A and B are shown apart, each in its own frame.
Chain A
Amino acid sequence: DAKTTQPPSMDCAEGRAANLPCNHSTISGNEYVYWYRQIHSQGPQYIIHGLKNNETNEMASLIITEDRKSSTLILPHATLRDTAVYYCIVRVGDYYAGNNRKLIWGLGTSLAVNP
């Protein structure tokens, strides 16, 4: 699975958009980009995933560059409850193929949303 690079920390003002970048320059054609977040003292929570098109759900938007070497998670109106560590992970989408059942976790970006 491809390796990802994220900034260790970011700040955002409450009510503003939070844009969290992720580099995955070695991503393969069949690998998806997943985002999870972990609020303090809780287990990680799935946010969104994408392959090549931009995606949006009730939690966030995911923008993937045309060459797929980087992506950005956007929280459109950040709240204090969005303060968490955000993980960007790339892996194949098919859970059948051997070790592809597991996700490889980096250290993520610690996002602080300030009042």
Chain B
Amino acid sequence: DVKVTQSSRYLVKRTGEKVFLECVQDMDHENMFWYRQDPGLGLRLIYFSYDVKMKEKGDIPEGYSVSREKKERFSLILESASTNQTSMYLCASSRSGTGGPSLKEQYFGPGTRLTVT
């Protein structure tokens, strides 16, 4: 089974702190994604990465950065946390390369509920 793990289920941080959210997948997937999910807004893509050291901005990258130094690990960084970044953060991974779309579905981690006070 594909497994995507996130470093914490719940996290409480103070305004202005630097926050690291870690995501690890064990299926050698090329693509990794960070989303945030808020009531009434659904899932919104923050950043994604299609290879080591490669990243692309999603729909709401402001206030976030990412790091992918190893294929299995994708980190989301809040340089200076703010209260409007209180949210559920979801990491996902998927395959790339040849093969049909059934091989490329996204697998999600359990999520990290971040509260910034």
CA distance A42 to B90 in the complex (A): 9
Annotate A29-66 by CB proximity to B: 1 below 8 A, 0 otherwise: 00010101000011111100100000000000000000
User: Are A43 and B58 interface neighbours, CB within 8 A?
Assistant: no
Judge whether B4 is part of the interface by a CB distance below 8 angstroms.
yes
**Cβ B101 vs Cβ A93 within 8 A:** yes
**Interface bracket on B:** 20 to 34
Contact A102 B48 (CB under 8 A): yes
- Interchain CB contact under 8 A, B105 and A34: yes
Q: Which of B31, B95, B101, B111 has the most CB of A within 10 A?
A: B101
A contact residues, total (Cβ < 8 Å): 22
Among B44, B45, B58, B110, the most chain A Cβ lie within 10 Å of the Cβ of: B45
Tell which of A43, A46, A95, A106 touches B4, judged by Cβ atoms closer than 8 Å: A43
Residues of A close to B43: CB separation below 8 A: 44, 105
**Does A17 touch B at the CB level, under 8 Å?**
no
Contact A43 B92 (CB under 8 A): yes
Give every chain B residue within 8 A of A95 (Cβ-Cβ). 31, 94-96, 104
Chain B residues packing against A (C-beta within 8 Å): 4, 31, 33, 35, 40, 42-45, 48, 50, 56, 58, 90-92, 94-96, 100-102, 104-111
